[in-house]
Structure 1
Amino acid sequence: MMSSFIPGLELSRTFYLQVVRPLVAGVPHSAALIGAGSEVLAFDTERSTDHDWGPRVVLFVTLERTGQVRHALDEGLPEVFCGYRTELGESGSHGVQVSQASTWFTERLGFDPLAGVGVLDWLSTPWQRLAEVTSGEVFHDGLNVLEPARAALRWYPPDLERYVLAGQWRRLARQEAFPGRCGEVGDELGSALVTAELARDLMCLWLLMRRRYPPYAKWLGSAFGRVSGAAEASEELAAAVSAEVGAGAWRERHRHLGVVYRRAAALHNRMGRAAALDDGLRDHHRRPFPVLDAGRFAEALHRAITDTRVRALPRVGSIDQFAHSTDLLTDPRRCRAATRAVLDL
């Protein structure tokens, strides 16, 4: 019986040190907890243990050692470690994934970062996948493959960062007046819905400006809450999305959103990735809907791009910014095909 919950990262680290490493002694290898799973992003709780959870290690070995290592693990792994079964899920397979580095990265991302990271690679890889590879923990890197790969993916190159940030500002620009426009015609539900979408986009923008890959929806709020300076913005966004549905509530939504717009604009100005801009709100055309006019920030970022290849890209952003299908975003092959088509790469 388990006496208390052990966070997955701690559990897997101990599992590697006490069990896996002795079983592969003498075999050159690299080991980490990366990839899928809430424990990789340190968002796991006791609730996480109800399925596909337990001591896990991603183990990289050379091709000629694969059979030897798998046999050693199959024969030597205990059934239970620290109160958790080492078999995960209904398949009966244990939690040590044995692979070659290039194969694992290509299956997870659609490319091997050890061979270089190009424009298509960056823009076709969902933020969740980038977070999964650069988070977690490296336990041992005897093959010198994990640290170089993670370093290559730590963050976008400067001009691609500007391009992605511009894409996020542009998403805000398209809808920032809509909470008021919906509310003005009596569509309070529509106003609330657009407000929630804007809140999501603002949270992603804030994370991107802080050089954090936004995780998928289940963990977005948790990740946002951990970012420096986001406490007040979090309170204002919570007030915006929870404003009581009723006549005139759209004004409250705009008021709370406006505070976060200005905070985001101030952060843009402090980060210095493009020209600083006025962070004041203004009416949308002649309509009484206070907006930041977020498109100004997208344009400033585009003007700051010096790489002509990046500047020539269609202004639609990365895969997360023009596609929301989970079935697409979890399939690297389709992500690459969609990005290649949309960006004409």
Structure 2
Amino acid sequence: MTTSDADFLSGLALSRILYEEAVQPILAETYPGLPHAAALVGAGSEVLGFDTPRSTDHDWGPRLLLFLTPQDATVHGTRIHRVLAEQLPKQIRGRPTHFRQINDRVGHMQPTDGPVNHRVLTLDAGSWLTGHLGVDPTSAEPTVRDWLAIPQQHLAEVTGGEVFHDGLGTLTTVRERLSWYPDQVWRYLLACQWQRISQEEAFVGRCADVGDALGSAVVAGRLVRDLMRLCLLLERRYAPYSKWLGSTFRQLPVAETLTPLLQGALAATQYRQRAKLLCDAYEAVATLHIETGLTAPLATACRSYHGRPYRVLFAERFAAASAKTVTDPHLRSLPRIGSVDQWADNTDFLGSQELRRAVVEAVP
């Protein structure tokens, strides 16, 4: 089932309606005064605000996370789920509340005459957050290693979306706590992101030197991705995974200047054009960095790479300057590799809390 553009209602709007017009009245009658929070957070394109009519063909529809105290979730969770299955309307704004599971991953929606197989999940915030992030930020501030072990996509999922009601206060507090990295972690990650760029910016020209046009283009693509993620760091925005990286980058003020440069560098078939556009992009991002005031001013112009016929920013200067502002002893002792999704992009790895934590703990 898909929806036309004219009829499309965003997942966030649909979920708010589900709560306010259906779930909340049922709760008020069945469990009057029950402390709870209601939100749409976690996985899903609608949480990041990028759902479209195309999204409606699977795993999309009126859904909600209903957070209770740990005790209430244990004592009342199962009954609340059953009551909602029996009393929820069959449709919300024309969208069925019944999800039919056709395999392990894909849920299709369809009307039903019986109880609805709804997606109003009843749980406690601490357990859900631990399952999503690998840590429970309801009880304490995340440690440095906690921050480094959480992919930015997961942080975006927890801090994105919308909270429709928070009678517990826990969810609002946690979202504020996780809204952005602590200052020292942020500075360390900036140093690491600049370091990535410094390690490959000369390769675009070197590949071209030996007639490897494809290799030059591949390196340029890697650098474009790293520049986009660097801009998101500078603008204090969590970078989502690849599907929504461009959409999120497009929302930044600097995107108006950078997008033509980055697209041009990717589209260029000749090294000289590619190099010119990349240099212009480097200089624009370097200027953005200086404007933050995080480090001492640095020259932002590209220059010849050790006398070779190609120009680079020498981004290691920005990595070193950022690293100098890191005063936390633990962060200063770490190599400039950053958080897990700065040096790894394997989906299965980033989805495994155990693997992420094990690798972060293994770093001296």
In structure 2, list runs of 5 or more residues that go unmatched: 108-116
Secondary structure of residue in 2 paired with 1:133:
helix
- Work out which of the residue numbers 42, 62, 74 in structure 2 matches 1:35: 42
Shift in Å at residue 287 of structure 1? 1.4
Partner of 1:108: 132
CA distance in 1, matches of 2:254, 2:164: 31
Q: Look up the match of 1:281.
A: 302
Backbone CA RMSD of aligned residues = 1.4
1:75 is matched with 86
SS of residue matched to 1:211: coil
CA distance in structure 2 between the aligned counterparts of 1:87 and 1:167, rounded to whole angstroms: 46
TM-score normalized with structure 2 length: 0.90
**TM-score (ref. length: structure 1):** 0.95
- Alignment match of 1:134 (pick from 159, 165, 175): 159
Residues of 2 paired with 1:65 and 1:143: CA distance?
Answer: 16
1:49 aligns with 56
- Which portions of structure 1, spanning 4 or more consecutive aligned residues, are displaced by more than 3 angstroms? none
Given that residues 17 and 92 in structure 2 are in contact (C-alpha distance below 8 angstroms), is that contact kept between their aligned partners in structure 1?
Answer: no
Q: In 2 relative to 1, CA 89–118 (structure 1 residues): closer, same or farther, beyond 3 Å?
A: farther
Where does residue 302 of structure 1 map in the other structure?
A: 323
- What is the deviation of 1:159? 0.9
Q: Residue 305 of structure 1 aligns to a residue in which SS?
A: coil
Determine whether 1:23 maps to 2:26. yes
Q: Distance in 2 between matches of 1:37 and 1:55?
A: 12
Q: Distance in 2 between matches of 1:276 and 1:207?
A: 20
| Partner residue in 2 for 1:311 | 332
The whole-number CA distance in structure 1 between the counterparts of 2:99 and 2:275 is 47
Paired letter, 1:53? W
Please give the alpha-carbon distance, in whole angstroms, between the structure 1 residues aligned to 2:245 and 2:43.
15
C-alpha deviation, 1:324, in angstroms: 1.3
CA distance in 2, matches of 1:219, 1:253: 24
- TM superposition shift of 1:314: 2.0
Q: Per-residue CA shift, 1:151-183, capped at 9, x if unaligned? A: 110111111100011111011011101111111
Deviation of 1:87 after TM superposition, in Å, equals 2.8
7, 14, 29: which one pairs with 1:11?
A: 14
Which residue number in structure 2 is paired with residue 163 of structure 1?
Answer: 188
One of 234, 241, 249 as aligned partner of 1:216? 241
The answer on whether the counterparts of 2:304 and 2:310 sit within 8 Å (CA) in structure 1 is yes
Counting matched residue pairs gives 339
Which amino acid in 1 is paired with 2:339? S
- Percent identity, aligned pairs only, is 48
Q: Give the superposition deviation at 1:39.
A: 0.4
CA contact (8 A) 1:58 1:98 kept: yes
The alpha carbon displacement at 1:68 in A equals 2.9
SS of structure 2 residue aligned to 1:213: coil
The match for 2:113 is none
Greater Cα offset, 178-187 or 328-337: 328-337
Deviations 1:105-143 (A, max 9, x none): 000000111122111111110010000101111101111
Q: CA deviation at 1:214?
A: 0.7
1:194 aligns with 2:191: no
Partner of residue 286, structure 2: 265
C-alpha distance in structure 2 between counterparts of 1:101 and 1:334, whole Å: 23
Q: Which residue of 2 aligns with 1:252?
A: 273
C-alpha distance after superposition, 1:278-331 (max 9, x if no partner): 101111222122110111111001101111121112221110111111001122
Q: Distance in 2 between matches of 1:111 and 1:222?
A: 28
| Residue 231 of structure 2 corresponds to residue 206 of structure 1 | yes
Contact 1:52 1:89 in 2 (8 A): no
Matched-pair contact (CA < 8 Å) for 2:153–2:238: yes
Supply the distance in 1 between the matched residues of 2:162 and 2:64 (Cα, whole angstroms).
10
* 2:147 alignment partner, one of 122, 142, 147: 122
